[in-house]
Amino acid sequence: MKLLYAYRYGIIGGVSTQLMFRRKALNDAGICCELFFSQDNGLKQVLSDRDGIHFGTDVIFSQIVNKGKYDAVVVIDSPELLSPARGPIYRRSLVYLDVHTTTNTGLAYLADIVPNRLAGVMVPTHYSSNLISRLLPVNSYVSILPNIIDANIFSEKNDSLNACVKEGDLREFIWVGKLDHHKNWRLALVYASMLREMFGDIIFHVVGGYTAPPSQAEAFFQLAYRLGVSSNVSWLDRAENISLSSLYSKCANSGGAMLVTSRDESFGMAAAEALLCGCPLIANDLPVFREVFPDSTLVHRVDIWKPDQVAAAAEALPYKPNLDDVRDMRAHLIKHYSAESFVKAFKSAMKIDR
């Protein structure tokens, strides 16, 4: 089988990372999988192997589909690619829609798609399935294809977790996301200030925002200054997974945590990766997190608009996470979100090997 995944944004983020994992998993399972991105927002630069990964305009996409003779094309949240994904009239490809967004704005395009032109719809979680089912015709079939997590790169650093962390050591926290309304970055800075007031000097890592427009970047520095945390906040606008894994471990080892202020999430890849590294979460109590993350001492669910709850969760953070809890969490995430789980669900959705 030959498959093409297509997405608009070639940005170093959750969806593109997920596509890389899926591509590898499918290729390992004997299914040829290629990727296409309409835009390059920094992704091309970090790719070591670009064989089978295409970048270009809608016209280039049409040409790739026409020449590629794909059995199926899966389009992720990019409605402008749905029509060219069908290919030439004499050799139509099966077109699937994969929905990863959960915002009202992001989902608005579902009102305009023609469902009978799709071979199927896919989502990463039951939460997303329930969300979009209200927006699609009643008889639309939605398959759940779980995301894949990389438990090799994202793992606890045992020697560091065993190190003795004591009261008074500098705590480090981390927040990962774009500087946009959805991820609620301003709230993250407010809580950075609160955490500094609680624990004295801290380091608050902000990772992401590479494509943030200048106005947002300026607003970031102004707000950090207004809150008195310019020297505590460290903005890393983009990071490779190995660096991110290191940061999660550093935060875990320092008695810190990852803060999730998002208004909504379709899965929570960054949060899952943090947990794989043993880094506790102080997370907005989102429905999808109830589905993806089991109850654990590592997961502090809060109403992110209630500072008292966030403060209480921060106070409850251990100086180092319980190793048994870390291993249990890893085991759960690996079991449910492995490459094998994805390939199995993929084959079921595509009705392969029946």
Cβ closest to other proteins, residue 141 vs residue 305: 305
Residue 66 neighbours by CB distance under 10 Å: 14
Residue number, 16 or 193, with CB nearest to other proteins: 193
Residues 6+ apart with CB under 8 A from 91: 69
Task: Find the shortest distance in angstroms from Cβ 229 to other proteins.
Answer: 9
Burial class (CB in 10 A: 0-12, 13-18, 19+), 48: exposed
Closer Cβ to other proteins, 181 or 335, answer by number: 181
Among residues 101 and 341, whose Cβ is nearest to other proteins? 101
The gap from C-alpha 264 to its chain's centroid, in whole angstroms, comes to 12
- Could you tell me if residue 276 is left (phi over 0), alpha (psi between -120 and 50 degrees) or otherwise beta? alpha
CB of 284 to other proteins, least distance (A): 13
Chain residues binding other proteins by CB under 8 A are 42, 45, 181, 184, 186-187, 189-190, 193-194, 197-198, 209, 212, 214-227, 230-231, 233-239, 243, 305, 307-308, 311
Burial label, 354 (beta-carbon count in 10 A; 0-12, 13-18, 19+)? exposed
Nearer to other proteins, 135 or 219 (CB): 219
Nearer to other proteins, 23 or 205 (CB): 205
Closest CA to 320 of 246, 233, 257: 257
Least distance CB 187 / other proteins (angstroms): 5
Do 174 and 256 meet the contact criterion of CB atoms below 8 Å apart?
yes
Q: Under a CB-based contact definition with an 8 Å cutoff, are residues 299 and 281 in contact?
A: yes
User: What does the alpha-carbon distance between residue 197 and residue 184 come to, in Å, rounded to a whole number?
Assistant: 21
In the complex, what is the shortest distance from the CB of residue 13 to other proteins, in angstroms, rounded to a whole number?
A: 16
- Least separation in angstroms between residue 218's CB and other proteins is 5
Q: How far is the CB of 34 from other proteins (least distance, A)?
A: 26
